[in-house]
A = this chain, B = another copy of it.
Amino acid sequence: MNVVLAQPTLASQIVEAIQSVVGSGPVALHEPLFAGNEWSYVKECLDTGWVSSVGKFVDRFEYDLAAFTGAKHAVAVVNGTAALHVALRLAGVQPNDEVLIPALTFVATANAVAYCSATPHFVDSEECTLGLAPQALRGYLQDITEIRNGLCVNRATGRVIRAMVSMHTFGHPVDIEGALSVARDFKLALVEDAAESLGSYYHGQHTGTFGLMGTLSFNGNKTITTGGGGAILTNDSELARHAKHLTTTAKVYHRWDFVHNEIGYNYRLPNINAALGCAQLEQLPDFLKAKREIFERYQNAFANLAQMHIVAEPEGCQSNYWLQALLLDEPVATQRDAILEATNNVGLMTRPVWTLMHRLEPYRVCPKMELPVAESLERRLINIPSSANLLYKKLACSESAK
């Protein structure tokens, strides 16, 4: 409590700065916005009876996602976790393998590794991207691994490090060239967890399209939502075919026989959820515009506050600004909880970054490199209200006034 009382004005200044952008609240961290064809497409599903596992909106959503991202193929699935699980399995992850993932991520990244009976191995982050740090990782892998029979082996555990997952934190693209270079040199499959980065580009190319596969999420708190949903992106036609097969119970096509030739999953996206996705995707360019404007307004509102800044997109990248992040300087990091308390108490929903994976009970014993940057970001980062609908209506009005 002493800390809170020592600098009472910092939290209240932040409350004021946020309110200058989003109003007095209550304001959610991230809400969906249904301003397009959602009703009409969903009603079409109900009217035709096509709500479930097969239907034209699933096909269309996959086509539209591929077109938007520039990926050759998109496979719609039930959520982002399922997408990552199947992508890792298709990347060849075996029981008892290790998979490199950032310590700073949502728990789904680690869980997807665990579903493959493999072990997550935690990697530090870079402050400029909030994502996996390729240079630090390279030095670490040089120290602890060796290549045996074309596989990267952790000398300490004797296990194969099969793959690496880079995650585009809050929509900010990771150093993907760096990640690809490490993946290549250490014989790792690269899967991009692009759950948060639909509409984010690295040097003009959409995130999730660089690695062997990329995965998207359309959970209710994401830039666009299908209620719950996800997708696998890939430029490899055989991987796309296999992903579709595995996510639809691995049933071999036949007019009536039920034969399944692998252990598959019931990871289909229902048609009614895909219908929502088609309507949301139509509005994505407008959502992205609104989210960028929210970033700019926050940047202005916080310009005069010392010892903190709003996280901006990495150089050469275009972020979707899914979740806006306020980053405190280290000297005021002790104020983090007071700021969370003050903002939430007045109805401005804010939150810290996820607890780092190596601190979670099920992952405490997993291997990890030193994590100084991730630990610093964990102390200093606060997400603030970011919904497109905070400004979307204003933008739409000014558009139509032109």
Please list the residues of chain A having a beta carbon within 8 angstroms of any beta carbon in chain B. 31-34, 38-39, 42-43, 46-47, 49, 51-54, 78-82, 95, 106-108, 111, 114-115, 117, 219-221, 225-228, 249, 251, 255-266, 268-273, 276, 340, 344, 350-355, 360-362
Contact = CB atoms under 8 A, between A and B. Distances in A.
A361 B255 contact: no
B34 A268 contact: no
A117 B117 contact: yes
Given A38-B46, A115-B115, 7 more contacts: A31-B49, A107-B258, A108-B266, A256-B351, A260-B360, A262-B362, A273-B273
A80 to B, nearest CB: 7
A362 B260 contact: yes
Chain multiplicity (copies): 2
A80 B270 CA distance: 14
B262 A220 contact: no
Contacts of A260: 107, 355, 360-362
12 contacts: A34-B46, A34-B47, A53-B219, A220-B270, A227-B271, A227-B273, A255-B344, A257-B352, A258-B351, A260-B360, A262-B362, A273-B273
Nearest to A39: B46
Given A107-B249, A227-B272, A352-B257, A219 B52 contact: yes
A249 to B, nearest CB: 6
Contacts of A51: 32, 34, 220, 225, 227, 276
A52 B270 contact: no
Contacts of A43: 39
Nearest to A218: B52
A361 B52 contact: no
Most buried by B among A42, A47, A54, A81: A42
Contacts of A47: 34
B220 A52 contact: yes
A184 B360 CA distance: 37
A249 B51 CA distance: 26
Contacts of A52: 32, 219-221, 225, 227-228
B256 A340 contact: yes
With most chain B CB atoms within 10 A of its CB, the pick from A34, A258, A273 is A258
Contact of A352 (B46, B117, B256, B269): B256
Given A51-B220, A51-B225, A354 B270 contact: no
Contacts of A261: 360-362
